[in-house]
Amino acid sequence: MQNLTKINNPYSDDKDFSGCSIFGMMDLNGNRFSSEGPVRAIANMHDRGNGLGGGFAIYGIYPTFEKYYAFHIMYLSKTAKEKVDRKLASKFNIIYDEEMQTKPANVTEPPLVWRYFVEPRKIKPKDEQIEDYVVKAVMQINAEIENAYVFSSGKNMGVFKGVGFPEDVAEFFCLEDYQGYLWTCHGRFPTNTPGWWGGAHPFNILDWTIVHNGELSSYGINSRFLEMYGYECTMQTDTEVLAYAVDLLMRKQRLPFELVSKILAAPLWNEIDSMKAEERLLFSALRQTYGSLLMNGPFSIIVAHHGEMIGLTDRIKLRPLVAGLKDDVLFISSEEAAMRLVSPNLDTFWYPRGGEPVIGKLKNQKLLETMNPMESK
């Protein structure tokens, strides 16, 4: 095992006082912007992480390839790439692939990272089925091929993550070359799972991403529930279940996040008992149906997919989350200072209660079709 103390505790203090940092920034008009603001903000919360993970999800970065699924794959060995290439070729038409642009940075043991633009080979009639086809392929690669991990699989978006401080990961992946309308960022302080490249946040499936501060003590029951729906957890980090839970609830079962937030951070039973009859029925039904998707333990998260960015904390708010708005740019952050650094004069600033989501949607929903086109429309 490599000695990581030099990275995570250069001052040799006897204790690290940390928690993860999360930051999200979205232009509600869909205008794309550079990495400058988001990287500056997440770097300002440097001390919340300890250099064992940093990452970004950026939406709207591949307009020229917007029709194709963009796979970002990390290879921890050469043979893994050969196997994945064969697998991909059997399931997809590979439109274009390349080694991802990287540069030397203060990151730990970077793997080989490769980018593929692909379209599914067997075109099926319904959109959902195509997406399921892609999900299945991703799960197969992650679970069956050793040392290869698909860490980004959406259209016109991408996840960039690794072991290092987020600002170093940004440098490694040359994020200054990308423009997106929605950025979520993460600085990691791993608690009880390993700090490795696949375990950094954001976690992704299709265009759904999650960054998370906290820990999910319900990981076991959540992952077993998700397994029944074909999701296999392979990244050795609790947050992974959130990405799949959101994909299941929002993409497949088409629940609005207002309800999803009440599944992930369900109201306490004694609160449900004091609700009006109709509400009580709804919330009881939610808790009974989706009890296994209740996220137990402290968390604050930012969920994103094309056209939407959502912040949420656990129901008793054991992790921080604040939000701000300036000229149609929505910020969600672990700390207020990071937001103020990027936008000193916020129009609105608020601090949501535990379990109450902050939801930012693209103002013009038609833009969504150009950003995330469906095949058969």
Partner 1 sequence: MIKVEKMVSKIDSNSFSYIKKEDAAWKVDAAGVYYKDLNDALRNIVGQGAKEIELQHVFGQRYIGTDLGNDVKLTIFGTPGNDLGAFMNGPKIIVNGNAQDGCGNTMNEGELIIYGRTGDLTGHSMRGGKIFVRDDVGYRVGIHMKEYKKKKPTIVIGGSAQDFLGEYMAGGIILVLGLNLKKGDCCKARFVGTGMHGGVIYERDKILKCAKGTRLMNIGKRDKILIESLVQEYCNNFNVDSKKIMNSKFYKIVPISKRPYGQLYSH
Give the neighbor-by-neighbor strand order of the sheet with 322-326.
157-162, 54-59, 182-187, 21-27, 329-333, 322-326, 348-350
Phi, psi dihedral angles at 322 (to 5 degrees): -130, 160
Phi, psi dihedral angles at 244 (to 5 degrees): -75, -35
Closer by beta carbon to partner 1, 37 or else 199: 37
Tokens encoding 262: 């009440």
Q: How far is the CB of 341 from partner 1 (least distance, A)?
A: 5
Residue 337 near partner 1 by CB under 8 A: yes
Residue 317 near partner 1 by CB under 8 A: yes
Q: Which among 40-48, 54-62, 222-230, 361-369 is the span making contact with partner 1, rule CB under 8 A?
A: 40-48
Q: How far is the CB of 27 from partner 1 (least distance, A)?
A: 22
Binding mask 9-38 for partner 1 (x = CB under 8 A): --x---------------------------
Residue 300 near partner 1 by CB under 8 A: no
Residue 345 near partner 1 by CB under 8 A: no
Closer by beta carbon to partner 1, 3 or else 270: 270
For the chain, the helix, strand and coil percentages under 3-state DSSP, each to the nearest 5: 35, 25, 40
Residue 47 near partner 1 by CB under 8 A: yes
Q: Using an 8 Å Cβ cutoff, are 319 and 211 in contact? A: no
DSSP structure string for 131-151:
HHHHHHHHHHHHHHSTTEEEE
Phi, psi dihedral angles at 86 (to 5 degrees): -65, -45
Closer by beta carbon to partner 1, 36 or else 369: 36
Q: How far is the CB of 336 from partner 1 (least distance, A)?
A: 5
Question: CA–CA separation, 278 vs 284, rounded Å?
Answer: 10
User: Of the candidates 190, 167, 166, 160, which has an alpha carbon nearest to the alpha carbon of residue 4?
Assistant: 190
Q: Using an 8 Å Cβ cutoff, are 50 and 16 in contact? A: yes
Residue 340 near partner 1 by CB under 8 A: yes
Q: Using an 8 Å Cβ cutoff, are 304 and 182 in contact? A: yes
Please work out the total of residues on this chain that contact partner 1, with binding judged by CB under 8 A. Answer: 18
SS3 97: strand
Residue among 320, 328, 361, 367 that touches partner 1 (CB under 8 A): 320
Q: Using an 8 Å Cβ cutoff, are 109 and 163 in contact? A: yes
Q: How far is the CB of 343 from partner 1 (least distance, A)?
A: 12
Residue among 353, 363, 369, 374 that touches partner 1 (CB under 8 A): 353
Q: For residue 20, indicate whether it is catalytic.
A: yes
Q: How far is the CB of 268 from partner 1 (least distance, A)?
A: 9
SS3 269: helix
Question: CA–CA separation, 26 vs 156, rounded Å?
Answer: 15
Among 20, 174, 185, 233, the one annotated catalytic: 20
Closer by beta carbon to partner 1, 195 or else 324: 324
Residue 174 near partner 1 by CB under 8 A: no
Q: How far is the CB of 26 from partner 1 (least distance, A)?
A: 21
Binding mask 199-238 for partner 1 (x = CB under 8 A): ----------------------------------------
Binding residues (CB under 8 A) for partner 1: these are: 11, 44-45, 47, 316-317, 320, 322, 335-338, 340-341, 349, 351, 353-354
Residues identified as active-site:
20
